[in-house]
Amino acid sequence: MSRAADGRRVVVTGAGGFIGHHLVRRLKAQGAWVRGVDVKRPQFEASPADDFQLLDLREFENCRAAVAEVDEVYQLAADMGGIGYITKVHASLTRNNALINAHMLEASRLAAVQRYLYTSSACVYPSHLQEDEAVAPLREEDAIPADPEKGYGWEKLFSEQLTAYFHEAYGLDTRIVRFHNIYGPLGSYEGGREKAPAAICRKVAEVEDGGTIEVWGDGNQTRSFCYVDDCVEGILRIADSGYSEPLNLGTDELVTVDQLATTASGVAGKKIRLHHELDQPQGVRGRNSDNSLLQKITGWQPTTPLREGMHQTYQWVWHQLAAEDRAKPPAPAPQILMARAAHA
């Protein structure tokens, strides 16, 4: 159970994005004073942040403003998106994120913040460990020797190293979190930056029962997916852990992309045929999270089953589309996430 946040002043960068917005809500519920920072406001609902600033964190002075008079920094800001986006813009994405992360670290050092949490990605792991659908779960130490994904993966691994150097050289109290495919309500579901669960939910919602949806790749590539409530819980537990080395944050419930689509059609109450588009990017062949170290350090790991999380995600996406007269029946039945002692 995460400690109460009463009295803390924190900044969440990337607060206009999916995970950042959920994190702001959770921190506010704990009693923290929260500043949200992003180049955009949250798309689907207003931020509950006490202070929301529109700042381009590629500029150093904006980073100084972001961290002014706060105790803790949650650095989630990044130029990122789904596989269709990050495989097309290597140069600009890498430049943007390198600037954001270098400037945020230096600004936080100068402001003498008490804690700095950096959110990295499973894209840092070597490609040669992810060439088979039956992939071995990736351990934190597997990231070195390095062979990460082009662009986004290399920048994330570099920024992990830079974060570690600031800890070693300046005593900045740092945390490094490696996300594994986070999904859930309030995330992008169209426009090019959406991740696979939201994209598939959109496709299923828009098609008639008995219809066909497009799946990128042959559908046998594998992933594990972590529900956003578990992600936020994990962020806070890692923040409180005192552990400065990288930690995976994901589930080990490995499924194929076809199984992900079948799960979405199942919660939708539709029978769907799949058309595989082999010319579209599909990323590594297999990726799964080893949570052994997370369990050892925090005494906790994500608990939301994929079907339960996909029900919540599909229900939210369907109603967004229904408001634009784009969703096809049946309407998803309401479902409440099971109460979890870990979130108490």
Q: Which two tokens stand for residue 330?
A: 């049946």
CB atoms under 10 Å from CB of 318, counted, come to: 24
**Best CA proximity match to 46, nearest among 75, 15, 67:** 15
Tens of pLDDT, residue by residue over 96-137, are 999 999 999 999 999 999 999 999 999 999 999 999 999 999
Q: State pTM to two decimals.
A: 0.94
Going by pLDDT thresholds of 50, 70 and 90, the confidence category of residue 342 is very low
Could you state, in order of their start, the residue ranges of all structural domains in the chain?
9-182+226-249, 184-224+254-286+304-331
Where does 184-224+254-286+304-331 sit in CATH, by number? 3.90.25.10
Tens of pLDDT, residue by residue over 151-160, are 999 999 999 9
Known catalytic residues are 152
CB 216 within 8 A of CB 280: yes
Tens of pLDDT, residue by residue over 220-267, are 999 999 999 999 999 999 999 999 999 999 999 999 999 999 999 999
CA dist., res. 90 & res. 257, Å (int): 24
Q: Average pLDDT in the 3-24 region?
A: 89
Q: What are phi and psi of 25, to 5 degrees?
A: -60, -45
Q: Average pLDDT in the 300-320 region?
A: 97
CA dist., res. 110 & res. 69, Å (int): 11
Going by pLDDT thresholds of 50, 70 and 90, the confidence category of residue 336 is low
CA 190 to chain centre: 16
Is 80 exceeded by the pLDDT of residue 177?
yes
Give the pLDDT score at 242: 97
How many CA atoms are closer than 13 Å to the CA of 165, on its beta-carbon side?
10
Range 9-182+226-249: architecture per CATH: 3-Layer(aba) Sandwich (3.40)
SS3 assignment for the chain: CCCCCCCCEEEEECCCCHHHHHHHHHHHHHCCEEEEEECCCCCCCCCCCCEEEECCCCCHHHHHHHHCCCCEEEECCCCCCCHHHHCCCHHHHHHHHHHHHHHHHHHHHHHCCCEEEEEEEHHHCCHHHCCCCCCCCECHHHHCCCCCCCCHHHHHHHHHHHHHHHHHHHCCCEEEEEECCEECCCCCCCCCCCCHHHHHHHHHHHCCCCCEEEEECCCCCEECCEEHHHHHHHHHHHHCCCCCCEEEECCCCCEEHHHHHHHHHHHHCCCCEEEEECCCCCCCCECCECCHHHHHHHCCCCCCCHHHHHHHHHHHHHHHHHCCCCCCCCCCCCCCCCCCHHHC
Is 90 exceeded by the pLDDT of residue 87?
no
Q: Which two tokens stand for residue 323?
A: 């408001």
